[in-house]
Amino acid sequence: AGASRRGFLGEGVRGLDLELVRRVVRIGTPVSLHGIVFSFVYIFIVTETNRAGGDAATAALGLGLRVEGFAYMASVGFCSAAAALVGQNLGAGNIGRARESAWMAVRIGVWISALWGLVLLLLPETVVGWLSPGPLTTFYALDYFAIVAVSLPFTALEIVLEGAFSGAGDTLPPMLLGLPLTIARIPAAILLARVLGWGVEGVFWALTITSVLRGLAFGFWFARGRWVHAKA
């Protein structure tokens, strides 16, 4: 084990493939940067939710995100499928199959998220009842479901296509599309929650509006097809 570690560290440094490092950094940095910014924005969203509605609203936000996670994890699965199939088919020179695979993964992910969103719209009390929160948290959680459920298919569209872009080695466009809209959640939440006086619902609407816009932006850019010519 010690020899293996020495070989990994020593030979890896001495025989460093700078071109490979450049490619890895070029592909990985946009995704990492977006994830870091997303985390900071989420901290603001939690803080703003607490300012507008107190601990009950913050608990409802956490509850809503956990419930939303059912659709999210399904989308992540098809994101991985899209990345693998797009990369495999592009590597084989089959552009049409790569495009078809990506859109098939999108359709499945979007349908699953749409169905889960429909459950949240039609049976919100039942879903909240599974977690047995307090009355005020339940009130805010029902608001969250009613507002955010419509955005779930668009979130799936974004997540799955992000995988397709990654499979093509074209990760810069998703960052350039997603990062501004992620940051826009901050002024949007302030405008809706404070300036317009919507309170907690304003924060939830900021999440929904930006999620819909991000999904549409990803879909539009992917449909343009420039990812086909990306070079990893």
Residue ranges per domain, the chain?
33-229
The phi, psi pair for 171, rounded to 5°, reads -90, -10
Give per-residue pLDDT as tens, 148-181: 999 999 999 999 999 999 999 898 888 999 999 9
Helices (H), the chain: 2-6, 12-14, 18-91, 95-122, 124-131, 135-148, 152-167, 172-183, 185-190, 200-224
Which pLDDT does position 6 carry in this prediction?
A: 52
CA angle, 164 as apex, 162 and 169 as ends, to 5°?
90
Which pLDDT does position 15 carry in this prediction?
A: 65
Residue 39 Cα to chain centre, angstroms = 11
CB 23 within 8 A of CB 232: yes
Which pLDDT does position 171 carry in this prediction?
A: 86
pTM of the complete model: 0.88
Give the residue among 24, 25, 118, 120 at the shortest CA–CA distance from 67. 120
Average confidence (pLDDT) over 98-107: 97
Which pLDDT does position 111 carry in this prediction?
A: 98
Give per-residue pLDDT as tens, 29-79: 888 888 899 999 999 999 999 999 999 999 999 999 999 999 999 999 999
